[in-house]
Amino acid sequence: MKTLYTPLNDFLFYKIMGEKGDEVQLLGFINAVLHRTGENRFNSVEILENKTFTPEVIGDKSSVIDVRAILQDSTRTNIEVQLRNQHNMDRRILFYWSKEYASSLEAGQNYSELPNVIAINIVNYDFPPLREVHTCFHLREDKHRDYVLTDALEIHFLDMVQYRKQWKGNVNDPLSRWLAWFDMGNGEELAAEAVKMDAAIEAANERMVYVTGDKEAIRAYERRQMALSDYNSTISFARDEGIAEGRAEGRAEVLELLDQGLSTEEIKQRLLNK
């Protein structure tokens, strides 16, 4: 099962999980995250959109490539892979959750018709800083922690850094198998074992093999990887210059310049000339 590609490239993740025909693997992944098994499993999912990827979108370091779907009980899901720490994940995820929640209500509809929205975030850095692989958030009352205001909001984080520290080598449950497959670049044999054990992961792996057989898709994958590398290079340079570390305003400036589409070299020159 040797591969040069990682499912945690957000473009490739979308091609594997977010297009019409990807329902089997998407449903398997969602059920694994939500720990739904047996009669409690979701049995159907509708993928909401097919994106058109222009070279500009793929090369834009700030563009969001997410997977959106509706489950059989009308619950909406939004799934995103975030490999770089922009130091704004808490507010970022609330923004995208709220967009999904509000956009589902059409003119004239009653608020009671607003669906539940589940956001799932796969991150390759420690967030939240709780040293947990899987964390889940709801709206709870401060004193009465057992009281949840509403089940409309549910936000999950899957921390790949903590996975490698705590769960690596474990394929005993569906979620750990999915994370092993996502991390195939750091554990090929474990990923292959996960594929053998889970039909949904096998479907995802077959889809990845198909997608990566297309030259245009590979060019988009590599362009997306390059955009991420440019971002990391810029942040590393800023840290070396004493801008991104210990000075929130400096870090914010770098992120703003990246969002404006400036290249790594352009940002370096701007920082050096300050």
pLDDT computed for residue 230 by the predictor: 56
The reply to whether 81 falls in a domain is yes
pLDDT computed for residue 208 by the predictor: 95
- As a whole number, mean pLDDT of residues 196-220 equals 94
The reply to whether 252 falls in a domain is no
Q: Is it the case that residue 51 has pLDDT exceeding 80?
A: no
pLDDT computed for residue 87 by the predictor: 78
> What percent helix, strand, coil does the chain show, rounded to 5?
50, 15, 35
pLDDT computed for residue 108 by the predictor: 73
Q: How far apart are CA 147 and CA 34, in angstroms?
A: 20
The reply to whether 262 falls in a domain is no
* pLDDT, tens digit (0-9, with 9 covering 90-100), for 156-193: 999 999 999 999 999 999 999 999 999 998 889 999 99
Question: Could you tell me how far CA 151 lies from the centroid of its own chain?
Answer: 22
For residue 224, CA distances in Å to 65, 142, 189, 213 come to 11, 42, 26, 17
User: Count of domains in the chain?
Assistant: 1
**pLDDT confidence band for 105 (50 / 70 / 90):** confident
The reply to whether 249 falls in a domain is no
- As a whole number, mean pLDDT of residues 2-24 equals 89
Q: How far apart are CA 165 and CA 71, in angstroms?
A: 32
The reply to whether 115 falls in a domain is yes
Provide the mean pLDDT of the chain: 85
- Backbone dihedral angles phi then psi of residue 155, each to the nearest 5 degrees: -125, 125
The reply to whether 247 falls in a domain is no
**pLDDT confidence band for 54 (50 / 70 / 90):** low
Beta strands (DSSP E) in the chain are: 45-47, 66-71, 76-82, 117-123, 134-140, 148-159
Q: Is it the case that residue 135 has pLDDT exceeding 80?
A: yes
Q: Domain containing 122: what range?
A: 10-215
Tell me the whole-structure pTM to 2 decimals. 0.83
Percent of the chain predicted with pLDDT > 90: 60
For residue 37, CA distances in Å to 24, 42, 193, 221 come to 15, 8, 20, 33
| Bond before 129 cis per omega within 30 degrees | no
The reply to whether 272 falls in a domain is no
pLDDT computed for residue 3 by the predictor: 58
The reply to whether 191 falls in a domain is yes
Non-local CB neighbours of 175 within 8 Å, separated by 6+ positions: 32, 33, 35, 134, 158
248-259 vs 215-240: helix axis angle to the nearest 10? Answer: 150
For the CA atoms of 193, 197, 203, 207, the dihedral, rounded to the nearest 10 degrees, stands at: 0
Question: What number of other Cβ atoms are within 10 A of residue 53's Cβ?
Answer: 17
* pLDDT, tens digit (0-9, with 9 covering 90-100), for 136-159: 999 999 999 999 999 999 999 999
Q: Are 92 and 128 in contact (CB under 8 A)?
A: no
Which comes out higher in pLDDT, residue 272 or 122? 122
pLDDT computed for residue 246 by the predictor: 47
- Backbone dihedral angles phi then psi of residue 70, each to the nearest 5 degrees: -120, 130
* pLDDT, tens digit (0-9, with 9 covering 90-100), for 230-268: 555 555 555 555 554 445 555 566 666 666 666 666 666
Among 41-50, 102-111, 227-236, which range has the highest average pLDDT? 41-50
Which comes out higher in pLDDT, residue 9 or 247? 9
Q: Are 94 and 135 in contact (CB under 8 A)?
A: no
Which amino acid is residue 140, in one-letter code? Answer: R
